[in-house]
């Protein structure tokens, strides 16, 4: 009788499909300081959906949209730009299981400048939690590492 095999996690391409609600979104500068992005605030509400046919949709909203958020002309590296405290985009995605990277091609976006963009993110699924990390530019032009934590809701 052989030894029991170690339990292995499902590949990202199998674990990712579903609906995800944002738990946290944290931007950190190169010197390790947390940087709050004023476009969406420190605790935005968000929903992320990946289906098994290769389609995705993402929506983010600043919890308190009562104060006007000025528009910015800074182009975000590997990311979209929120407008008025809201960001939304959708398109198709492919998963590189070996690298744990998801590449998204935007077919539509709240910001017209982002239509046709390609965005790549390192992702990990552990149980019902999704962790996404990307190098990007904050609303005010500062380079940051953004870490998003999501909880599966469907």
More confident call, 40 vs 7: 40
pLDDT recorded at residue 152: 98
CB of 80 within 8 A of CB of 72? no
Q: Which residue has the tokens 């300081």?
A: 33
pLDDT over 80 at 140, yes or no: no
**What is the reported pLDDT for 3?**
40
Q: What is the pLDDT of residues 79-135, one digit of tens each?
A: 777 888 899 999 999 999 999 999 999 999 998 889 999 999 999 999 999 999 999
Is CATH 2.60.40.10 the right assignment for the domain spanning 12-63+72-152?
Answer: no
The pLDDT of residue 142: 86
- Give the Cα separation of 69 and 38 in Å (integer): 7
Above 90 in pLDDT, residue 1?
no
Residues 6+ apart with CB under 8 A from 149: 22, 23, 24, 25, 129, 130, 131
Stretch 61-73: mean pLDDT: 76
DSSP 93-123: EEEETTTTEEEEEEEEESSGGGTT-EEEEEE
The residue-averaged pLDDT of 35-64 equals 94
Q: What is the mean pLDDT of the chain?
A: 89
CA angle 111, 114, 119 (to 5 degrees): 135
Residue identified by tokens 């674990």 is: 15
Contact assessment for residue 59 and residue 39, using Cβ atoms and an 8 Å cutoff: no
Handedness of CA 129, 19, 115, 95 (dihedral sign): positive
- Say what percent of the chain tops pLDDT 70: 88
Q: Is 15 helix (H, G, I), strand (E, B) or coil?
A: helix
């Amino acid at each position: 009788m052989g030894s029991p095999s170690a339990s292995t996690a499902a590949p990202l391409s199998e674990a990712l499909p579903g609906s995800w609600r944002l738990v946290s979104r944290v931007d950190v500068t190169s010197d390790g300081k947390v940087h709050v992005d004023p476009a969406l605030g420190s605790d935005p509400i968000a929903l992320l959906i990946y289906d098994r046919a290769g389609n995705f949709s993402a929506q983010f909203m600043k919890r308190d949209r009562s104060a006007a958020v000025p528009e910015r002309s800074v182009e975000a590296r590997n990311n979209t730009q929120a407008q008025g405290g809201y960001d939304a985009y959708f398109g198709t995605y492919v998963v590189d299981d070996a690298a744990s990277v998801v590449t998204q091609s935007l077919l539509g976006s709240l910001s017209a400048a982002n239509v046709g963009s390609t965005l790549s993110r390192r992702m990990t699924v552990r149980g019902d939690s999704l962790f996404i990390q990307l190098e990007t530019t904050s609303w005010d032009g500062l380079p940051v590492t953004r870490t998003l934590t999501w909880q599966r809701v469907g």
